[in-house]
Structure 1
């Protein structure tokens, strides 16, 4: 028997925006608000503890964006995105089942979005809209400035200039920073395409290095080299990777 009542969590750094959603939900007595969060760190803890059916998620928030929050969730609830910005992402949702609300929006517009969300929930379907928005962000022309990772139940924000290298790890990547390492469910291709190519070079199918952490290159055998990192790691360099390094470092 399908559920008739659902729980919701509101995530937005602006109190008036959270108040509007609460007010609009008065038209939907089968949805109970079980919490509000003003940032992604609070939201991660609340989602893990409360396991809401729906999250109303602002895309642009300080410290951690809505997209960065989604990247570290093990299970993603049905998402209703809400923002005053990013009109390009709005176009990605024109043919999507889950809505994307551009602030300010009316009660009628909110109700239409909820109709789509409730239809999905009643069918027990997962949202494809999340993947669409993440894909949109991956196709951005702006290089990554930071990477959000999760250790246990906590999120950490790593500026990319603190990353020494990234290593392929089956369906994941291991991100090495100056003092720690973190496993993340993303591809090497994603980082190769979205990190600043003047700073990060894919030297091998298994490694992307921050050139600022490459101390020197040493011969490995007759035709190949290794990159010796500032903390002593020795990373293999392919022929193509060596060519890219030479172009980047101008040697």
Structure 2
């Protein structure tokens, strides 16, 4: 039985969208159900229309393709369309997720689609690979965190983050404006936040260094930090050692 896939384009350049549409026209296994010019609209349309396959640009205004992936409730197959550097392309190869390096030919596009059709036909799940790729592709420390609360997407500059708290499978992010929740691990943030700016003081807390106001001992070998907003957080032995190293005392 022939597979019929619903496809969506998320790409900020109109010329690139038009090229993709011309290449896809008449494809026997694909029905194009929409196009989006940025990641904000992309998140909404993917969760609403539930496409089987998305052609996704990486470098877009507002939010990147990787940031968009983190916000999706519906998880489609992804073919990246990118002008990304070779470092990231190794990550694609490693995770067996296909990409189209701009400028690409129609033949290259059709091969990528065939790859997706084969993966779906073999009932392979790409979601774990996509999550690994999202983390692997960030080869610099985070400059911002993107969170989604119902229909609202918020971009948090990293300098606005006060501290992070572990909550089961989520992380609570405390900022100057309030609190946000994101489905990521503390381990992810520990490795993607600059260690000169953030310290994991406890298994449950990562704190911005310059937001620490005071360190107090409340029992033998037990400490807590008091933040500038007077929040009190427990410090583990390992966390206390890290604080001493970073603050040089």
Q: How would you bin the TM-score normalised by the shorter chain?
A: over 0.9
Q: Structure 1 residue 41: deviation in Å?
A: 0.7
Are 1:137 and 2:137 an aligned pair? Answer: yes
User: 1:59–1:231: structure 2 CA closer, same or farther, 3 Å change rule?
Assistant: same
Q: Gaps spanning 5+ residues in structure 2: where?
A: none
Q: Structure 1 residue 97: deviation in Å?
A: 4.6
Mapped to 2, the partners of 1:207 and 1:33 lie a distance apart of: 45
- Bigger mean CA deviation after superposition, 150-159 or 87-96: 87-96
Q: How does 1:1-251 map to 2 (within 5 A)?
A: 4-94=3-93, 97-127=96-126, 129-138=129-138, 140=139, 142-251=140-249
Mapped to 2, the partners of 1:232 and 1:96 lie a distance apart of: 44
Mapped to 2, the partners of 1:218 and 1:58 lie a distance apart of: 49
Mapped to 2, the partners of 1:217 and 1:190 lie a distance apart of: 26
The 8 Å contact of residues 98 and 113 in structure 1, kept in 2 or not, is answered as no
The 8 Å contact of residues 204 and 236 in structure 1, kept in 2 or not, is answered as yes
> For each residue in 1:122-181, what CA deviation from the matched residue of structure 2 results, as whole angstroms up to 9, or x when unmatched?
44443254234224225x2x1110011110122111111101001111222111111221
| C-alpha RMSD over aligned residues | 1.8
The 8 Å contact of residues 214 and 226 in structure 2, kept in 1 or not, is answered as yes
Mapped to 2, the partners of 1:186 and 1:3 lie a distance apart of: 37
User: 1:132–1:201: structure 2 CA closer, same or farther, 3 Å change rule?
Assistant: closer
1:220 is paired with a residue whose SS is: strand
Q: Structure 1 residue 96: deviation in Å?
A: 5.0
Give structure 1 regions of 4+ aligned residues with deviation exceeding 6 angstroms: none
User: 1:211–1:95: structure 2 CA closer, same or farther, 3 Å change rule?
Assistant: closer
User: 1:193–1:98: structure 2 CA closer, same or farther, 3 Å change rule?
Assistant: closer
User: 1:3–1:237: structure 2 CA closer, same or farther, 3 Å change rule?
Assistant: farther
Q: Structure 1 residue 86: deviation in Å?
A: 2.5
The 8 Å contact of residues 46 and 74 in structure 2, kept in 1 or not, is answered as no
> For each residue in 1:86-125, what CA deviation from the matched residue of structure 2 results, as whole angstroms up to 9, or x when unmatched?
2222223336554111000101111100101122334444
- Bigger mean CA deviation after superposition, 93-102 or 181-190: 93-102
Q: Gaps spanning 5+ residues in structure 1: where?
A: none
User: 1:3–1:208: structure 2 CA closer, same or farther, 3 Å change rule?
Assistant: farther
The 8 Å contact of residues 92 and 133 in structure 1, kept in 2 or not, is answered as yes
The 8 Å contact of residues 98 and 116 in structure 1, kept in 2 or not, is answered as no
The 8 Å contact of residues 41 and 154 in structure 1, kept in 2 or not, is answered as no
